Copies of this chain bind each other. A is one copy, B any other.
Amino acid sequence: MMSQTSRYAFHVLGFLASHGGRLIPGDELAAATGIPANYLVKILNQLRKGGLVESRKGWGGGFALKPGAEDRPILDVVEIIEGQGAGAKDDCAFGRPACDAGNPCPMHEGWAEIRDGYHTLLSRTLVRDLASP
């Protein structure tokens, strides 16, 4: 339901969120989170392009949360990582191309409930909530 890469993104954003706007090098983030360093940098790059993270090169450089990013829902994170419409509402447990209230598959109702709960969780959880206490 959630890609490994999204989980990594949650983890590292949580770490950044608990360290204010301070720039932290990728290597340090990798060591702190246990995420493979080379891969982590790629994820952070996606997040930067998505507007959640900013970076600076060279000495004293690293990654930091973009100001205001703490208030973004983590649904944004999933959409940046997995593409728009991850867990879209037309996602059917039978794999049917079209499955809605008018033409439901046998699992439609129960599955829609799970999907909506997932979507709600992603919408209500903010990046700031990912910070460790």
Q: What mask results when residues 92 to 132 of chain A are scored 1 for a CB within 8 Å of chain B, else 0?
A: 11111000000000110011011001100100110001111
Q: Which B residues are in CB contact (< 8 Å) with A121?
A: 107, 110-111, 113-114
A130 near B114 with CB under 8 A, answer no
Partner of A118, one of B94, B114, B124: B114
The smallest beta-carbon distance between A98 and chain B, in angstroms, is: 12
A95 near B4 with CB under 8 A, answer yes
Q: Which B residues are in CB contact (< 8 Å) with A106?
A: 14, 129-132
Q: What mask results when residues 2 to 16 of chain A are scored 1 for a CB within 8 Å of chain B, else 0?
A: 101001101100100
Q: How far is the CA of A4 from the CA of B2 in the complex (A)?
A: 15
Q: Which B residues are in CB contact (< 8 Å) with A8?
A: 95
A10 near B114 with CB under 8 A, answer no
Decide if A31 is an interface residue (CB 8 Å cutoff).
no
Beyond A107-B130, A125-B110, A130-B106, whether A11 also contacts B94 by CB under 8 A is yes
Q: How far is the CA of A113 from the CA of B94 in the complex (A)?
A: 23
Name which residue of chain B comes closest to A121, CB basis.
Answer: B110
Q: Which B residues are in CB contact (< 8 Å) with A11?
A: 94-96
Q: Which B residues are in CB contact (< 8 Å) with A92?
A: 7
